[in-house]
Amino acid sequence: MTEFNYTVTETDKELSVKELLRRNFHFSSRLLTKLKQQDLVTLNGNPVRGWMIPLPGDKLTITLPQETCDFQPEDIPISVIFEDKDLLVINKQPGYVVHPTKGKPNHTIANGIMKKMLDDGEKYKIRFANRLDMNTSGLLLIAKNSFTQDRLIRQMKAGIIRKEYLAVVDGIMEHDLGTINAPIGRPDPDEVERWILPTDQGGYDSVTHYKVIRRFQSGYTLVRLRLETGRTHQIRVHMASIGHPVTGDHLYNNGDPFLYRKLHGDFRRVEGIEEKSTSPYIDRQALHACSLSFFHPVTNEKTELEAPLPDDIVKLIDYISFL
Catalytic-role residue among 133, 150, 170, 249: 133
Q: CB–CB of 152/297 below 8 Å?
A: yes
| CB-based contact 114:136 (threshold 8 Å) | no
Q: How far apart (Å, rounded) are the C-alpha atoms in residues 236 and 165?
A: 11
In whole angstroms, give the CA distance from residue 160 to residue 152: 9
HSE at residue 25, side-chain half, CA atoms within 13 A, is: 26
Please name the amino acid found at residue 311: D
Burial of 224 (0-12, 13-18, 19+ CB in 10 A): middle
Angle at 301 between CA 20 and CA 8, to 5 degrees: 20
Residues 6+ apart with CB under 8 A from 103: none
Q: Is 133 a catalytic residue?
A: yes
Distance of CA 157 to the CA centre of its chain: 13
- Interatomic CA distance for residues 258 and 260, integer angstroms: 5
Instruction: Give me the DSSP letters along 247-273.
Output: TT-TTTTTSSHHHHHHHH---S-BTTB
CA dist., res. 91 & res. 107, Å (int): 17
Contacts of residue 130, defined as CB under 8 A and 6 or more positions apart, other chains included, come to: 140, 141, 156, 163, 230
Backbone angles phi, psi at 166, to 5 degrees: -115, 140
- Dihedral sign computed on CA atoms, order 111, 116, 118, 123: negative
Residues with catalytic roles: 133
